[in-house]
Amino acid sequence: MAGLQRNSSLKVEVVPAPPEQEPLLANLFELYAHDFSEFVALELGADGRFGFAQLPSYWTEPGRHPFLVRVNGHPAGFVLVWKGSQVSGDAEVWDVAEFFVIRRYRRLGVGTAAAHAVWRRLPGRWEVRVLDQNQRAQAFWARAVGEFTGDAAAPKVVDSEGVRWHVFSFESEAGD
Protein backbone atom coordinates (compact mmCIF):
# COMPACT_ATOMS: atom_id res chain seq x y z
CA MET A 1 0.00 0.00 0.00
CA ALA A 2 1.42 3.37 -0.96
CA GLY A 3 2.14 5.79 1.86
CA LEU A 4 0.11 8.96 2.22
CA GLN A 5 1.75 12.35 2.10
CA ARG A 6 0.54 15.55 3.71
CA ASN A 7 0.11 17.24 0.32
CA SER A 8 -1.93 14.38 -1.14
CA SER A 9 -5.52 15.16 -2.02
CA LEU A 10 -7.43 13.83 0.96
CA LYS A 11 -11.12 14.67 1.17
CA VAL A 12 -11.81 15.21 4.87
CA GLU A 13 -15.45 15.31 5.92
CA VAL A 14 -16.84 15.92 9.39
CA VAL A 15 -20.49 14.98 9.67
CA PRO A 16 -22.90 14.73 12.58
CA ALA A 17 -23.13 11.07 13.55
CA PRO A 18 -26.74 9.85 13.62
CA PRO A 19 -27.78 7.32 16.29
CA GLU A 20 -27.38 4.40 13.87
CA GLN A 21 -23.64 5.23 13.73
CA GLU A 22 -23.22 4.60 17.48
CA PRO A 23 -21.70 1.10 16.89
CA LEU A 24 -19.13 2.60 14.51
CA LEU A 25 -18.19 5.31 17.03
CA ALA A 26 -18.00 2.68 19.79
CA ASN A 27 -15.53 0.69 17.68
CA LEU A 28 -13.45 3.77 16.95
CA PHE A 29 -13.54 4.61 20.66
CA GLU A 30 -11.80 1.30 21.40
CA LEU A 31 -8.84 2.40 19.26
CA TYR A 32 -8.86 5.82 20.96
CA ALA A 33 -8.97 4.28 24.44
CA HIS A 34 -6.08 1.98 23.55
CA ASP A 35 -3.99 5.00 22.52
CA PHE A 36 -5.13 7.01 25.54
CA SER A 37 -4.27 4.21 27.98
CA GLU A 38 -0.66 5.40 27.63
CA PHE A 39 -1.65 8.41 29.77
CA VAL A 40 -4.55 7.20 31.90
CA ALA A 41 -4.92 3.91 33.76
CA LEU A 42 -7.73 2.46 31.65
CA GLU A 43 -8.54 -1.22 32.15
CA LEU A 44 -10.10 -3.64 29.72
CA GLY A 45 -13.42 -5.12 30.73
CA ALA A 46 -14.03 -8.85 30.96
CA ASP A 47 -15.09 -8.75 27.28
CA GLY A 48 -11.69 -7.39 26.21
CA ARG A 49 -13.09 -3.94 25.44
CA PHE A 50 -12.56 -0.60 27.15
CA GLY A 51 -16.14 0.53 26.56
CA PHE A 52 -17.52 4.03 26.92
CA ALA A 53 -20.69 4.13 28.99
CA GLN A 54 -21.31 7.84 28.22
CA LEU A 55 -21.41 7.38 24.43
CA PRO A 56 -25.24 6.95 24.20
CA SER A 57 -25.68 10.32 25.97
CA TYR A 58 -24.38 12.07 22.84
CA TRP A 59 -27.72 11.27 21.17
CA THR A 60 -29.98 11.85 24.17
CA GLU A 61 -28.65 14.83 26.14
CA PRO A 62 -28.89 18.43 24.93
CA GLY A 63 -25.61 20.20 24.24
CA ARG A 64 -23.78 17.02 23.19
CA HIS A 65 -22.70 16.52 19.59
CA PRO A 66 -21.09 13.41 18.08
CA PHE A 67 -19.22 13.87 14.79
CA LEU A 68 -17.74 11.25 12.51
CA VAL A 69 -14.56 12.07 10.59
CA ARG A 70 -14.26 10.50 7.15
CA VAL A 71 -11.32 10.59 4.74
CA ASN A 72 -12.10 9.84 1.10
CA GLY A 73 -15.38 8.34 2.31
CA HIS A 74 -13.78 5.99 4.88
CA PRO A 75 -14.22 6.24 8.67
CA ALA A 76 -11.12 7.92 10.06
CA GLY A 77 -12.03 9.22 13.53
CA PHE A 78 -14.51 11.12 15.64
CA VAL A 79 -15.04 14.33 17.58
CA LEU A 80 -17.28 14.42 20.64
CA VAL A 81 -18.31 17.90 21.76
CA TRP A 82 -20.35 19.09 24.66
CA LYS A 83 -21.54 22.40 25.99
CA GLY A 84 -19.96 23.40 29.28
CA SER A 85 -16.41 23.70 30.51
CA GLN A 86 -15.03 20.71 32.36
CA VAL A 87 -12.43 22.85 34.16
CA SER A 88 -13.97 26.28 34.81
CA GLY A 89 -17.63 25.32 35.07
CA ASP A 90 -18.60 27.92 32.42
CA ALA A 91 -21.85 26.54 30.99
CA GLU A 92 -21.54 28.52 27.73
CA VAL A 93 -18.18 27.18 26.53
CA TRP A 94 -17.94 24.45 23.89
CA ASP A 95 -15.64 21.65 25.01
CA VAL A 96 -13.79 19.15 22.82
CA ALA A 97 -14.57 16.20 25.07
CA GLU A 98 -12.95 13.47 22.95
CA PHE A 99 -11.03 13.68 19.67
CA PHE A 100 -9.53 10.85 17.65
CA VAL A 101 -7.98 10.29 14.23
CA ILE A 102 -6.73 6.81 13.31
CA ARG A 103 -2.96 6.50 12.99
CA ARG A 104 -3.00 6.10 9.21
CA TYR A 105 -4.25 9.69 8.82
CA ARG A 106 -2.19 11.42 11.50
CA ARG A 107 0.35 14.10 10.54
CA LEU A 108 -1.44 14.61 7.23
CA GLY A 109 -3.62 17.57 8.21
CA VAL A 110 -6.73 15.43 8.82
CA GLY A 111 -6.99 16.23 12.53
CA THR A 112 -6.54 19.94 11.94
CA ALA A 113 -9.14 19.95 9.16
CA ALA A 114 -11.57 18.02 11.39
CA ALA A 115 -11.08 20.36 14.36
CA HIS A 116 -11.51 23.47 12.21
CA ALA A 117 -14.70 22.06 10.64
CA VAL A 118 -16.25 21.42 14.06
CA TRP A 119 -15.25 24.85 15.37
CA ARG A 120 -16.84 26.54 12.34
CA ARG A 121 -20.00 24.44 12.74
CA LEU A 122 -20.49 25.45 16.40
CA PRO A 123 -19.64 29.14 16.82
CA GLY A 124 -18.86 30.57 20.23
CA ARG A 125 -16.25 30.25 22.93
CA TRP A 126 -14.22 27.04 22.96
CA GLU A 127 -11.94 25.11 25.28
CA VAL A 128 -9.65 22.26 24.35
CA ARG A 129 -8.24 20.37 27.35
CA VAL A 130 -5.06 18.32 27.06
CA LEU A 131 -3.52 16.20 29.79
CA ASP A 132 -0.21 17.52 31.08
CA GLN A 133 1.61 14.29 30.19
CA ASN A 134 0.33 14.21 26.58
CA GLN A 135 3.06 16.27 24.91
CA ARG A 136 2.18 15.25 21.34
CA ALA A 137 -1.42 16.35 21.79
CA GLN A 138 -0.30 19.67 23.29
CA ALA A 139 1.79 20.37 20.20
CA PHE A 140 -1.04 19.30 17.86
CA TRP A 141 -3.63 21.51 19.56
CA ALA A 142 -1.27 24.50 19.72
CA ARG A 143 -0.83 24.24 15.93
CA ALA A 144 -4.52 23.58 15.21
CA VAL A 145 -5.78 26.43 17.41
CA GLY A 146 -3.05 28.80 16.20
CA GLU A 147 -3.87 28.11 12.55
CA PHE A 148 -7.58 28.58 13.24
CA THR A 149 -7.26 31.87 15.12
CA GLY A 150 -4.26 33.25 13.27
CA ASP A 151 -2.53 33.87 16.61
CA ALA A 152 0.00 31.87 18.59
CA ALA A 153 -1.91 29.55 20.90
CA ALA A 154 -0.61 29.43 24.46
CA PRO A 155 -2.56 27.21 26.83
CA LYS A 156 -3.36 28.03 30.42
CA VAL A 157 -2.29 25.34 32.88
CA VAL A 158 -5.18 24.38 35.15
CA ASP A 159 -5.32 21.86 38.00
CA SER A 160 -8.80 20.40 38.34
CA GLU A 161 -9.75 17.53 40.64
CA GLY A 162 -6.15 16.33 40.86
CA VAL A 163 -5.54 16.44 37.10
CA ARG A 164 -3.27 18.96 35.39
CA TRP A 165 -4.64 20.24 32.08
CA HIS A 166 -3.30 22.52 29.38
CA VAL A 167 -6.39 24.46 28.29
CA PHE A 168 -6.56 26.28 24.97
CA SER A 169 -9.34 28.92 24.90
CA PHE A 170 -10.51 30.81 21.81
CA GLU A 171 -13.58 32.04 19.93
CA SER A 172 -15.11 30.78 16.72
CA GLU A 173 -17.53 32.43 14.35
CA ALA A 174 -19.72 30.50 11.93
CA GLY A 175 -17.95 30.12 8.61
CA ASP A 176 -14.74 31.50 10.18
Measure the CA–CA gap between 82 and 166, rounded to whole angstroms: 18
What is the per-residue pLDDT for 60?
96
Single pTM value for the model: 0.88
Give the model's confidence band at 41: pLDDT under 50 very low, under 70 low, under 90 confident, else very high: low
* CA 27 to mean position of chain CA atoms: 16
3-state helix, strand, coil in the chain (%, to 5): 30, 30, 40
Condensed to tens digits (0 to 9), the pLDDT of residues 59-109 reads 999 999 999 999 999 999 999 999 998 888 889 999 999 999 999 999 999
Residue spans of the domains in the chain: they are 12-172
Domain 12-172 carries which CATH code? 3.40.630.30
